Amino acid sequence: MRNFIKQTFASLVGTLLGLIIFGGLGTTGLLLLIFAASSKDTGPNVKDKSVLVFDLSMKITDSEPSSDELFQNTISGVDDERMALRKVVETLEKARRDPRIVGIYLDSTSASQAGNVGYASLKEIRKALEEFRASGKKIVAYGSDWSEKEYYLSSVADSIVLNPLGMMEVNGLSSQPMFLAGALQKYGIGVQVVRVGKFKGAVEPFILTKLSPENREQTQKLLDDVWGEWRTTVGASRKIEPNQLQAIADNQALLEATQAKTNGLVDRVAYPDEVVSDLKKLTNSDKDDKTFRQINLNSYAEVSGKSLGVERSSKNQIAVVYAEGEIVDGKGDAGQVGGDRFAKIFSKLRQDKDVKAVVLRINSPGGSATASEVMQREVKLTREAKPVVVSMGDVAASGGYWIASDSNRIFAEPNTITGSIGVFGVLFNGAKLANDNGITWDSVKTGTYADSQTVSRPKSPQELALYQRSVNRIYNMFLNKVSQGRKLPEQKVAEIAQGRVWSGVAAKEIGLVDEIGGLNSAIAYAVKEAKLGEDWEVQEYPRTSSFGERFFGRATEEARTALGIEAAQLKPSNPLTTEFQKLQQEVEILQKMNDPQGVYARLPFNLKID
């Protein structure tokens, strides 16, 4: 047995050493390549009369991926092609100014992942595309299967081309939440809720089998606002009246290529090679060339923008802090907004004399009320020292609004989802499930409420009253913070709160938002408030991975590839798989609920617009 262990250990060590040597050789070669490239500092080669290719299947997030995410994706083999929203917008602006770039090709031929980004983010990208086109440069869009999201961007193009076998979806927007109450009841899991706000629909999936009238009302209003903005924006680009687009949605919904052209939604029906021929003419490419002169968005993003006036260098910093994901107590993981971690970031920025203003970019449905309060306190203290401006992304609701309420100014897009000023708690118990399977509990205690945290039984009316009192206290605190931060009478805040969700345009009308605009608008306002003129630069937080971390990721990828580990292929989900994914997302949300008091300020769990 000892010999077996020795041999096994020796074999393991030998294998590890082999991998290290193998990785070292690959890493050495990679280092030499990087050193050679960096010594020339040329960056990607951009030829004259090139077209920038923007693949609309690319994943777009608010912030850059963290080092943990990069490492995990490398090890798992997931080809996570993604860019930060601000980098996308800056890259499009750089292309607008670059005389070598003559046009943009919006490619919608790949399996779409546009579902990962909301309409508020798409609005910012669309604005950058509009400015590019206004400069006199061409935009060509091509697709074979457009949904409303891809077409929302593609409709800005000079020329919109659809594959002869292609389809267009113009059937309006919908939200189809999943309700778990029946399943919980079937399997004997008890649910009790405490909440404030008649519109606070976050608890409804656990206690109802369909939308409450109040939740249906707010969801309908939100969808109407977002759909109205879609029809107005798309209609203006295509010179189609919004009511005509509504008629198409009500009467046709799915349009074949010829129908799309007849209705003025596309300019041409053609095959990919015909579009390539047109782009070869635009770029003056030789007829014998396989394709047109081009550079993709990711590569072009690495081109220096200093000579084009896009990149800035200054000691005066505008700090952009990305609060993206579920708000959780403690430090939180990648993709989460950890209250303690973000509070620490604000504390450092407040004391940093080089940071002249802070822009808090929020893309969060909320979460832990305790974590939201920890962050909000630091935001308030920072505002007393320097300007703090909020930019709301796709979602900045409930706890996401809590942390925004005490800023100098709040910016949102018309189709941002915000508000949801309400509080709730969900109390589960497994009494019936356990009893049906022969499991019982007994209790010995020294106080009436000593076992109130148990999941072995439902809460008594007296215990529920205690929880409700806690929820009421936090809700009143929430109202007071909004009232003071927004300088609104508490009575008015109480009327527009109630857990109700609003669109950005509606939120501006009722005073929850100051201005309609994106991240760049918020940065410009922060610069103005800090009186910096043109002498400033942006620094982003949490800080993204260092060169060493990215290099390690590349070296690991090299070893992984050499060992024959192939990347996982991401395939579009079928409708049934999509529903299972929604259920998985619901469970993941429950796992992230870690507020120490069990009280949450969060958007309705599965509010998704399709």
Look at residue 307 in the predicted model and tell me its pLDDT.
82
Average pLDDT, the chain: 85
- Residue 375's closest CA among 328, 325, 408, 319? 328
- Residue 428's closest CA among 187, 192, 184, 183? 192
Which token pair is 113?
């992942």
Mean pLDDT to the nearest integer, 85-107:
96
Look at residue 64 in the predicted model and tell me its pLDDT.
82
Percent over 70 (pLDDT), the chain: 80
**Which of 38-42, 47-51, 141-145, 164-168 is predicted least confidently?**
38-42
Mark out the alpha helices in 460-546 (DSSP H runs): 461-486, 490-496, 504-509, 519-530
Give the residue carrying structure tokens 């927004």: 486
User: If you compute the radius of gyration of the chain from its CA atoms, what whole number of angstroms results?
Assistant: 27
Look at residue 305 in the predicted model and tell me its pLDDT.
84
Q: Is the pLDDT of residue 538 over 90?
A: yes
Kindly give, in sequence order, each residue whose CB lies less than 8 Å from that of residue 180, ignoring residues fewer than 6 positions away: 205, 206, 586
Mean pLDDT to the nearest integer, 516-544:
95
The listed range with the strongest mean pLDDT (41-50, 66-75, 360-369) is 360-369
Burial 486-516 (b: 16+ CB within 10 A, else e): bebeeeebbebbbbbbbbbbbbbebbbbbeb
Q: Is the pLDDT of residue 22 over 90?
A: no
What's the pLDDT band for 604 if we cut at 50, 70, 90? Answer: low
Measured at the CA of 365, the angle between CA 359 and CA 370, to 5 degrees, comes to: 85
Look at residue 280 in the predicted model and tell me its pLDDT.
95
**Which of 208-222, 288-302, 581-595 is predicted least confidently?**
581-595
Mean pLDDT to the nearest integer, 410-416:
97
Cβ contact 292:285 at 8 Å: yes
Mean pLDDT to the nearest integer, 25-48:
56
Mean pLDDT to the nearest integer, 548-557:
44
Look at residue 546 in the predicted model and tell me its pLDDT.
47
Kindly give, in sequence order, each residue whose CB lies less than 8 Å from that of residue 15, ignoring residues fewer than 6 positions away: none
**Which of 23-37, 142-156, 358-372, 553-567 is predicted least confidently?**
553-567
pTM score of the predicted model: 0.83
Give DSSP secondary structure letters for 223-268.
HHHHHHHHHHHHHHHHT--HHHHHHHHHHTEEEEHHHHHHTTS-SE
Residue type for position 547: F
Residues labelled catalytic = 200, 398
Model pLDDT for residues 225-273, shown as the tens digit of each residue: 999 999 999 999 999 999 999 999 999 999 999 999 999 999 999 999 9
Domains of the chain: 50-175+215-306 (3.90.226.10)
What's the pLDDT band for 201 if we cut at 50, 70, 90? Answer: confident
Mean pLDDT to the nearest integer, 360-380:
95
Look at residue 460 in the predicted model and tell me its pLDDT.
96
Burial 188-197 (b: 16+ CB within 10 A, else e): ebbbbbbbbb
- Residue 375's closest CA among 401, 346, 352, 398? 346
Type and span of the H or E element at 319: strand 317-324
Look at residue 384 in the predicted model and tell me its pLDDT.
96
The listed range with the strongest mean pLDDT (120-124, 145-149, 548-552) is 120-124
Burial of 320 by CB count in 10 Å (0-12 exposed, 13-18 middle, 19+ buried)?
buried
Q: Is the pLDDT of residue 535 over 50?
A: yes
- Residue 356, helix vs strand vs coil: strand
Look at residue 197 in the predicted model and tell me its pLDDT.
85
**Which of 169-178, 431-440, 542-551 is predicted least confidently?**
542-551
Look at residue 544 in the predicted model and tell me its pLDDT.
64
What's the pLDDT band for 286 if we cut at 50, 70, 90? Answer: confident
Model pLDDT for residues 476-500, shown as the tens digit of each residue: 999 999 999 999 999 999 999 999 9
Measured at the CA of 410, the angle between CA 88 and CA 87, to 5 degrees, comes to: 10
What's the pLDDT band for 42 if we cut at 50, 70, 90? Answer: low
Q: Is the pLDDT of residue 343 over 90?
A: yes
Cβ contact 542:322 at 8 Å: yes
Is the CA virtual torsion 29, 35, 36, 42 positive or negative? Answer: positive
Look at residue 270 in the predicted model and tell me its pLDDT.
97
Look at residue 405 in the predicted model and tell me its pLDDT.
94
Mean pLDDT to the nearest integer, 372-386:
97
What's the pLDDT band for 112 if we cut at 50, 70, 90? Answer: low
Tell which wins on pLDDT, 39 or 321: 321
**Which of 98-112, 211-225, 260-274, 515-529 is predicted least confidently?**
98-112
Look at residue 32 in the predicted model and tell me its pLDDT.
43
